[in-house]
């Protein structure tokens, strides 16, 4: 019982402090606005390419959680014609995944700061519940980064991203940007229209992170089919760090939970 | 969907944990609603004197509740909406506890506002939601479907909090929100309704950065229509609504976190903190009138400053823990209070009554406002401790006399009707579940004591944490095996019949959290294996035949969430809480692979037969399973009227095949998260009971003698007869009165005449048969008898659960005497299921919530005051039906008893079905019902229909030309009306039961007369007056019953006459001869059985 009290009073806070430090570090990567004194978040350029071909090349500029600039070069396979698109000057594209992950982390930090050293934990259950809440936020943050949204082709076509380019994207091109683990990914879909009387049986494709050539969909009154898919990606180093921090802090949380439950199970049957 | 399931909760002494995460008071200040981390909602009754008492728990969410809000204009419909961590949303009816609508959306809400604009909006209004997604979602309040969203053009981000501003001055409703990043945004509400309905994007009108993070609340001052209060976790600020200029900032002191605030009057602000303190400030003007110094931020800032008037705080107690969720309710209307309320993680609710004009002490120091009320769930359980005993307390009390054991795990075996309870001290108790339930619920424990004794298994030294009965999952395994795991990671294999330990497994891996069995298709060395999940995240595989541990997988870092089996390659796939997957080779015990992320998900999805380790509340899936099984097995019954023999076959099939036999009675152990406090739910399947009870007498007949078969069969149908009789009776009673009665076919009346002659003989014959039957019954019955008696016992228990004990003392006495059922120890906690996985359970002490009931009926098992009115109405509609209990039932106690029970149950079932039936179905069923009955009731009932005024009867009339028994139709009508008046099912059932029981019990005394010549009966009833039954009368009645068991007619004594006149208060004098005649016309050869089944079957179809 003495030991348990020590655990509650000292050990828990030590772990919480550690957790906070780690998460603060993680949140720094996300450049939380308002948390520091920095003005506009610094811009980072990422050059996206794939090792094999150089059909698609993209330079994306990330400013915090938003894409502030994008330059996409596309070499058409047929006629070797080079196409170039860039974001309109006044537009930014929020990367929802980064924003959500950042918000989840700040929620977790908020939960931890509300129980600083001055706070006395009275029961083990209290710690367990706090840990559960923190872990929920962290798992969500991590999942936001590791699992990109599965979109259907019409959803991609309808998204604001395709409308942000100058000159406007040709109607046979679709574009999608997302985060997968620590990588910033850009996919370009080349489309061709299906003849209305074509013998191919039309089956609209469901949602997917990356659609494969041959996927069909209906957009407007047209039936379209994906003819080529280009995917380029680039590692964002700070996302990698953040993911590592998430994993470490999740393990810390779990260890603390395990310690508490060992005691509580032997202690008594009443709510620990 | 089946709705005939009735649930009764058996709570333990400990209240289930309820860590409050959201709290609100309904607009009528009668109910407090709390949402908990465990996923349940609790409804608390708030009396006029501001006393709190918990009323019921609402189950449905499988994750922590994040927010609660009003979902309708509360004066019209008492609906609230709740949202959970995993995206579930539910709309609940607060008065009935039913789930009205549910949906699961991929959004997690943290705040919901109800918005309705009556003159611009069709439908029920919107739920404006914000949470862990960008901007504000608009959800339809009725269907819970996403309508559209309010978008922001700049800095889209999560929204922390919002409020709706109704400004009288500019005649426009606005939505004010503050985002996670501290951005204040304003949307026009009322003027953008059309755009939203046309799915056009609506962008914010204004946007301003507030320079603080973690916004908790934003509130508009409706008194001045000028000030805007924004509470952040570290400070609170007051803005001018006109230009959003900052007027005041107050930073928190000594590390407190603000949690919310409210404008309680003009220039008066209430702020509360996360640790349960609150402060009332007066905003003082420094004397400089604002208009003199226009548009100068600095001057404005100085012009107001806060002055602390009052404060509140909670008493320090041990279990208190952060965070507190608080709210404030401001009502200016008179009977209402200004209430500040808070809910704690420990489940405690505290109320403060805020005075209309809060003032500081004379010396200017802040005054402390005392706590008005405080209450927890446990208080409810302590106060009503007789009601809140767990199912096993009775037995453990017998065992050691002092101190009851705490049940830490339990398992119900339906095939044996056994309840296994693992206790905190390591013992395992095995009892007959029905007996345990009876002992717990009913008065008079002596009757239970001579029941088969319970077994106590001793082998564990630590508290038993999990139990498994393998035979229940796969019939191939030994029926005697039972597994139990304890805190010390010791797993014992028991023989439950011999009570010996077959084997002990020592795992050395912490507490055993759950025991699972591999699916039937997965076999290792020809045997299914047991999988045992321990608290150190390890998984052990046990082979029961070989009594060996095959594999102990110990490499998992996180708790095990899912176990899957790969039958082909002998892999065990373990899914952990961190979404990683471990694949173990069972034969060699080696770790094959470890995967995380996307690939892990694919692996988990590819094997379909998953076993969820941690289902938060097993109850939902359990009821679902129960229901689906029943659906399957009961389908043959939906074919319509079946001839008797096939029905019998059907029933024997059911008994034989225990696996698919829908049980009329079931016990569900329920455990809650984060603690081992559990309770049990008894499930009664009304429909199944009725089905089972009907064939029971038939089987008896078969086993005893074939000679009497035909005759007794008819008697078994006595319930049937009763109904058809009543139909006939009522019709004739009505017939002569109305002009159209002449339209009655003459042949019919002729037949009546003929039958009268036969009447007495027939009656005698039946009686004689019965006599024989009794003697047969004394002989030992085959094994099926056990099942039959069990069903009867179940039915009795069910009836005693429903009867409103204590309303009428005499009635109670009669019920105990004649139905041979026992009185309840106290009001029971009834459950109400609104669909597969949403239901509510009453809490101990719920009966004291209805304030008007306290005076008259304390400790009475009355669901609501309404029941009495309803049952009065019910009686009023069936004055002609009083003669139901005929001589048939009066002959032997046991038979009469069971017949009565069957009758009552079938009645209840009918009511249950009717009330639950959706409106559009009502007419259809009604008509089909009439079709079925048509061949039995060729008489025109057009006159009856004329008597009816409601549109129900009209629609019936249009669809089908008459042929409707008047009494039943009027009953149908009445009950249908109840449904429209949103009378709860339980209320309706109890009302009908009360009415029927009253009728029957009061008629019991009269029945002997009926079996005598008609003239006698007439005489007896001539002087009949409206008098209540007396106790001495019941004694008389007993005498008569005894006499009646004699084979032939009993001599008539003057005493009897008196008794009759007393009792038959609802009889119509003129009715008597008619009725007897009618009974005649029904008697031999008529397919009465059909009619009865016909009546039940169409109801089932729905």
**CATH class (in words) of the domain with range B17-104+332-389:** mainly beta
Non-local CB neighbours of B264 within 8 Å, separated by 6+ positions: B270, B280, B328, B330, B338, B354, B358
CB contact under 8 A, B408 and A103: no
* DSSP annotation of A10: I
- Using the Cβ of B510 and the Cβ atoms of chain A, whether some distance falls under 8 Å is answered with yes
Asked if residues B124 and B107 have their Cβ atoms less than 8 Å apart, the reply is no
Query: What does residue B865 show for φ and ψ, rounded to 5 degrees?
Result: -60, -30
Sheet harboring B304-312: ordered strands across?
B258-265, B268-273, B278-285, B304-312, B367-368
Q: What is the 3-state secondary structure (H, E, C) of A157-224?
A: HHCHHHHCEECCCCCCEEEEEEEECCEEEEEEEEEEECCCCCCCCCCECCCECCCCCCCEEEECCEEE
Non-local CB neighbours of B422 within 8 Å, separated by 6+ positions: B407, B408, B409, B410, B428, B460, B463, B464, B465, B466, B467, B484, B486
Numbered residues of chain A with Cβ closer than 8 Å to any chain B Cβ: 33-35, 94, 96, 99-100, 103-104, 106, 110, 114-116, 118-119, 122-123, 125-126, 128-129, 136, 139-140, 143, 146-147, 181, 250-251, 254, 258, 261-262, 265-266, 269, 271-272
Residues 80-119 of B with CB under 8 A from A: 85
Sheet harboring B678-685: ordered strands across?
B20-25, B31-36, B41-46, B52-59, B838-842, B829-835, B5-10, B678-685, B665-671
How many angstroms separate the CA atoms of A214 and A194, rounded? 11
Give the per-residue pLDDT at B452: 56
Residue range B880-903: average pLDDT?
50
Greater confidence, B967 or A21?
A: A21
Asked if residues B325 and B23 have their Cβ atoms less than 8 Å apart, the reply is yes
Q: Please report, for residues B732, B759, B1054, the alpha-carbon distance to residue B1013 in angstroms, rounded to integers and kept in the order given.
A: 20, 10, 15
- Using the Cβ of B255 and the Cβ atoms of chain A, whether some distance falls under 8 Å is answered with yes
How many angstroms separate the CA atoms of B408 and A265, rounded? 12
Phi-psi group of B709: left, alpha or beta (phi > 0 → left; psi -120 to 50 → alpha; rest → beta): alpha
Cα atoms found within 13 Å of the Cα of residue B345, Cβ hemisphere only: 20
Minimum Cα–Cα distance from B488: chain A residue: A266
Q: Among B253-267, B383-397, B889-903, which range has the highest average pLDDT? A: B253-267
Q: Count of CB atoms within 10 A of residue A220's CB?
A: 9
Greater confidence, B489 or B108?
A: B108
Asked if residues B800 and B824 have their Cβ atoms less than 8 Å apart, the reply is yes
Q: Strand, coil or helix: what is B453? A: coil
Looking at the domain assignment, is residue A37 inside a domain?
no
Greater confidence, A167 or B1017?
A: A167
Minimum Cα–Cα distance from A138: chain B residue: B578
Of the candidates B156, B537, B578, the beta carbon closest to that of A94 is on: B156
Q: Each residue of B213-272: pLDDT tens digit? A: 888 899 988 888 888 899 998 888 888 888 888 888 888 877 788 888 888 888 888 888
- Nearest-CA distance from B904 to chain A in Å? 44
Residue percentage of chain B with pLDDT more than 90: 4
Give the per-residue pLDDT at B531: 85
Looking at the domain assignment, is residue A22 inside a domain?
yes
Looking at the domain assignment, is residue A183 inside a domain?
yes
Longest dimension (CA), chain B: 110
Candidates B183, B187, B176; CA nearest to B209 is: B183
Locus of tokens 């209307």:
B333
Cis before B323 (ω within 30) = yes
Greater confidence, A154 or B692?
A: A154
Of the candidates B133, B214, B318, the beta carbon closest to that of A122 is on: B318
Give the per-residue pLDDT at B321: 53
Q: Has residue B81 got a pLDDT over 90? A: yes
CB contact under 8 A, A122 and B85: no
Q: Strand, coil or helix: what is A124? A: helix
Q: What is the 3-state secondary structure (H, E, C) of B539-578?
A: EEEEECCCCEEEEEECCCCCCEEEEEEECCCCEEEEEECC
Write out chain A residues lying below 8 Å of B319, CB-based.
Answer: 122-123
CB contact under 8 A, B322 and A103: no
In CATH, the architecture of B391-542 is 7 Propeller (2.130)
How many angstroms separate the CA atoms of B949 and B937, rounded? 22
Write out chain B residues lying below 8 Å of A96, CB-based.
Answer: 134
Write out chain A residues lying below 8 Å of B182, CB-based.
Answer: 34
Domain range spanning residue A116?
1-32+43-269
Q: Each residue of A91-105: pLDDT tens digit? A: 778 888 888 998 899
Give the per-residue pLDDT at B176: 92
| Strands B304-312, B367-368: pairing kind | parallel
Greater confidence, B490 or B910?
A: B490
Non-local CB neighbours of B841 within 8 Å, separated by 6+ positions: B7, B9, B56, B57, B59, B681, B829, B830, B831, B832
The tokens for B666 are 């079931």
Give the per-residue pLDDT at A199: 63
How many angstroms separate the CA atoms of B1088 and B711, rounded? 13
- Nearest-CA distance from B253 to chain A in Å? 14
Give the per-residue pLDDT at A51: 62
For B265-332, give the DSSP string: ETTEEEEEETTS-EEEEEEEE-S--GGGSTT-HHHHHHHEEEEEEEEE-PPP-TT--SPPEEEEE---
Query: What does residue A180 show for φ and ψ, rounded to 5 degrees?
Result: -125, 115
CB contact under 8 A, B156 and A266: no
How many angstroms separate the CA atoms of B424 and B392, rounded? 12
- Using the Cβ of B579 and the Cβ atoms of chain A, whether some distance falls under 8 Å is answered with yes
Q: Write down the ipTM of this complex.
A: 0.86
Q: Each residue of B124-153: pLDDT tens digit? A: 889 999 998 888 999 998 899 998 889 888
Q: Has residue B11 got a pLDDT over 60? A: yes
Give the per-residue pLDDT at B109: 92
CATH 2.40.128 in chain B, residue ranges: 17-104+332-389
Give the per-residue pLDDT at B629: 31
Minimum Cα–Cα distance from B596: chain A residue: A146
Residue range B548-559: average pLDDT?
83
Of the candidates A103, A116, A254, the beta carbon closest to that of B558 is on: A254
Interface test with A, best of B39, B404, B675 (most A CBs within 10 A): B675
Asked if residues B550 and B539 have their Cβ atoms less than 8 Å apart, the reply is no
Asked if residues B842 and B924 have their Cβ atoms less than 8 Å apart, the reply is no
Looking at the domain assignment, is residue A258 inside a domain?
yes
Q: Each residue of B828-874: pLDDT tens digit? A: 667 676 666 677 777 776 665 554 444 444 445 555 666 666 667 66
Interface test with B, best of A65, A95, A120, A129 (most B CBs within 10 A): A129
Give the per-residue pLDDT at B391: 53
Q: Name which of A182-186, B695-699, B995-999 the model is least confident about.
A: B695-699
| Element of type H or E holding B174 | strand B172-179
CB contact under 8 A, B319 and A99: no
Looking at the domain assignment, is residue A78 inside a domain?
yes
Give the per-residue pLDDT at B927: 42
**Number of structural domains in chain A:** 1
CB contact under 8 A, A126 and B181: no
The tokens for B626 are 């129960």
Q: Has residue B44 got a pLDDT over 80? A: yes
Give the per-residue pLDDT at B530: 85
- Tally C-beta pairs within 8 A across A and B: 84
- Using the Cβ of B157 and the Cβ atoms of chain A, whether some distance falls under 8 Å is answered with yes
Minimum Cα–Cα distance from A247: chain B residue: B578
């Amino acid at each position: 019982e003495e030991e348990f009290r020590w655990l509650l009073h000292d050990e828990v806070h030590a772990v919480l402090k550690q957790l906070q430090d780690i998460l603060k570090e993680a949140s720094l990567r996300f450049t939380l606005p308002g948390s520091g004194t920095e003005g506009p978040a610094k811009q980072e350029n990422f050059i996206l390419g794939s090792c094999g071909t150089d059909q698609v090349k993209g330079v994306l500029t990330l400013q915090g959680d938003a894409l502030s600039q994008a330059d996409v070069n596309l070499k058409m396979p047929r006629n070797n014609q080079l196409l170039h698109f860039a974001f309109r000057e006044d537009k930014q594209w929020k990367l929802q995944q980064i924003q959500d992950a950042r918000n989840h982390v700040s929620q977790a930090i908020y939960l931890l700061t509300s129980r600083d050293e001055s706070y006395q934990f009275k029961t083990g259950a209290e710690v367990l519940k706090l840990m559960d809440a923190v872990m929920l936020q962290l798992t969500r943050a991590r999942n936001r980064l590791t699992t990109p949204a599965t979109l259907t082709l019409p959803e991609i076509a309808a998204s604001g991203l395709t409308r942000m380019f100058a000159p406007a994207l040709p109607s046979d091109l679709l574009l999608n940007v997302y985060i997968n683990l620590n990588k910033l990914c850009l996919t370009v879909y080349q489309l061709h229209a299906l003849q209305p009387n074509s013998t191919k049986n039309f089956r609209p494709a469901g949602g997917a992170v990356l659609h494969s050539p041959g996927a069909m969909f209906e957009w407007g009154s047209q039936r379209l089919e994906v003819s080529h898919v280009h995917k380029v990606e680039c590692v964002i180093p700070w996302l990698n760090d953040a993911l590592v921090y998430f994993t470490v802090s999740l393990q810390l949380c779990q260890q603390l939970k395990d310690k508490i439950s060992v005691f509580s199970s032997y202690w008594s049957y009443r709510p620990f | 969907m089946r709705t005939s399931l009735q649930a009764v909760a058996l709570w333990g002494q400990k209240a289930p944990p309820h860590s409050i995460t959201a709290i609100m008071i309904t607009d009528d200040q009668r109910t407090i609603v709390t949402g908990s981390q465990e996923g349940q909602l609790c409804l608390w009754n708030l009396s006029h004197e501001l006393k709190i008492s918990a009323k019921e728990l609402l189950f449905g969410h499988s994750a922590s509740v994040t927010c609660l809000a009003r979902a309708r204009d509360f004066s019209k419909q008492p609906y609230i909406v709740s949202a959970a961590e995993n995206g579930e949303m539910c709309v609940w009816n607060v008065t009935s506890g039913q789930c009205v609508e549910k949906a699961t959306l991929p959004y997690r809400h943290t705040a919901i506002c109800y918005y309705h604009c009556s003159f611009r909006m069709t439908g029920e209004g919107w739920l404006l939601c914000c949470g862990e997604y960008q901007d504000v979602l608009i959800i339809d309040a009725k269907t819970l479907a996403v309508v559209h969203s309010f978008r922001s053009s700049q800095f889209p981000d999560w929204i922390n909090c919002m409020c709706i501003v109704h400004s009288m001055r500019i005649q426009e409703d606005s939505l004010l929100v503050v985002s996670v990043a501290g951005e204040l945004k304003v949307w026009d509400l009322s003027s953008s309704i059309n755009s939203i309905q046309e799915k056009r994007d609506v962008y914010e009108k204004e946007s301003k950065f507030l320079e603080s993070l973690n916004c908790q609340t934003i509130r508009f001052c409706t008194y001045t229509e000028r000030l805007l209060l924004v509470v952040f976790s570290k400070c609170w600020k007051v803005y001018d609504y006109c230009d959003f200029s900052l007027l005041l900032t107050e930073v928190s002191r000594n590390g407190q976190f603000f949690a919310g605030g409210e404008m309680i009057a003009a220039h008066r602000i209430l702020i509360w903190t996360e640790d349960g303190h609150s402060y009332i400030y007066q905003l003082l003007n420094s004397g400089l009138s604002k208009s003199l110094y226009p548009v100068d931020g600095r001057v404005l800032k100085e012009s107001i400053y806060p002055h602390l008037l009052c404060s509140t705080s909670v008493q320090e107690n041990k279990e208190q823990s952060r965070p507190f969720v608080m709210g404030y309710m401001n009502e200016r209307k008179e009977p209402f209070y200004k209430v500040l309320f808070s809910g704690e993680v420990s489940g405690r609710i505290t109320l403060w009554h805020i005075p209309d004009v809060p003032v500081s002490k004379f010396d200017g120091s802040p005054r402390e406002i005392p706590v008005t009320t405080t209450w927890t769930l446990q208080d409810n359980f302590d106060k009503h401790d007789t009601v809140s005993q767990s199912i096993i307390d009775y037995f453990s009390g017998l065992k050691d006399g002092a101190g009851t054991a705490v049940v830490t795990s339990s398992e119900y075996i339906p095939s044996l009707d056994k309840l296994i309870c693992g206790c905190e001290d390591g013992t395992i108790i095995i009892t007959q579940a029905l007996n345990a339930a009876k002992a717990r619920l009913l008065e008079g424990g002596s009757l239970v004591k001579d029941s088969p004794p319970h077994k106590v298994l001793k082998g564990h030294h630590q508290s038993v944490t999990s139990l498994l009965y393998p035979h229940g999952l796969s019939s191939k395994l030994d029926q005697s095996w039972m597994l139990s795991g304890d805190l010390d990671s010791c797993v014992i294999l028991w023989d439950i019949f011999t009570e010996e330990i077959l084997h002990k497994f020592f795992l050395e891996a912490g507490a055993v959290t759950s025991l699972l069995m591999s699916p039937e298709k997965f076999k290792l060395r020809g045997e299914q294996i047991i999988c045992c999940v321990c608290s150190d995240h390890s998984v052990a595989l046990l082979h029961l035949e070989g009594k060996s541990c095959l594999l102990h997988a110990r490499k998992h870092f996180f708790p095990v969430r899912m176990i899957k089996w790969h039958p082909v390659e002998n892999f065990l796939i373990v899914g952990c809480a961190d979404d990683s997957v471990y694949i173990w080779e069972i034969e060699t015990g080696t770790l094959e692979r470890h995967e995380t992320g996307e690939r892990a998900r694919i692996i988990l999805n590819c094997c379909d037969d998953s076993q969820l380790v941690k289902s938060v509340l097993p109850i939902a899936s359990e009821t679902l399973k129960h229901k689906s099984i029943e659906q399957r097995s009961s389908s043959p019954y939906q074919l319509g009227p079946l001839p008797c023999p096939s029905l019998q076959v059907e029933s024997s099939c059911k008994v034989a095949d225990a696996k698919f036999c829908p049980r009329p009675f079931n016990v569900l152990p329920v455990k809650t998260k984060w603690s081992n406090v559990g309770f049990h739910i008894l499930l009664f399947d009304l429909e199944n009971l009725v089905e089972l009870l009907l064939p029971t007498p038939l089987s008896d007949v078969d086993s005893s003698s074939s000679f009497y078969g035909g005759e007794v069969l008819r008697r078994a149908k006595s319930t049937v007869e009763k109904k058809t009789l009543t139909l006939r009776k009522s019709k004739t009673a009505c017939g002569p009165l109305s002009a159209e009665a002449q339209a009655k076919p003459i042949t019919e009346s002729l037949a009546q005449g003929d039958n009268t002659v036969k009447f007495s003989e027939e009656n005698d014959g039946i009686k004689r048969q019965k006599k024989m039957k009794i003697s047969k019954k004394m002989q030992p019955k085959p094994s099926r008898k056990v099942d039959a008696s069990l069903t009867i016992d179940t039915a009795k228990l069910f009836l005693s659960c429903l009867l409103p004990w204590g309303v009428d003392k005499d009635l109670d006495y009669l019920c105990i005497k004649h139905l041979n059922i026992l009185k309840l120890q106290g009001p029971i906690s009834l459950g109400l299921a609104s669909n597969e996985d949403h239901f509510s359970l009453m809490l101990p002490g719920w009966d004291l919530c209805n304030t008007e009931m306290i005076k008259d009926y304390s400790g009475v098992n009355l669901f609501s005051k309404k029941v009495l009115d309803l049952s009065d109405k019910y009686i009023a509609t069936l004055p002609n039906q009083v003669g139901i209990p005929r001589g048939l039932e009066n002959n032997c106690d046991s038979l009469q008893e069971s017949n009565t029970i069957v009758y009552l149950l079938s009645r209840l079932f009918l009511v249950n079905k009717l009330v639950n039936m959706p409106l559009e179905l009502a007419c259809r069923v009604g008509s089909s019902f009439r079709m079925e009955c048509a061949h039995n009731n060729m008489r025109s009932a057009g006159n009856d229909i004329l008597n009816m005024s409601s549109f129900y009867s009209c629609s019936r009339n249009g669809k089908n030309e008459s042929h409707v028994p008047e009494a039943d139709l009027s009953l149908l009508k009445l009950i249908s009306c109840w449904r429209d008046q949103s009378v709860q099912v339980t209320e309706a059932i109890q009302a009908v039961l009360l009415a029927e029981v009253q009728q029957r019990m009061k008629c019991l005394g009269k029945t002997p007369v009926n079996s005598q010549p008609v003239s006698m009966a007439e005489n007896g009833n001539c002087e009949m007056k409206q008098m209540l039954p007396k106790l001495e009368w019941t004694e008389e009645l007993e005498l008569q019953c005894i006499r009646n068991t004699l084979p032939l007619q009993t001599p008539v004594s003057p005493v009897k006459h008196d008794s009759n006149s007393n009792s038959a208060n609802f009889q119509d004098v003129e009715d008597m001869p008619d009725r007897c005649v009618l009974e005649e016309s029904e008697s031999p050869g008529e397919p009465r059985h059909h009619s009865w089944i016909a009546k039940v079957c169409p109801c089932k179809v729905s």
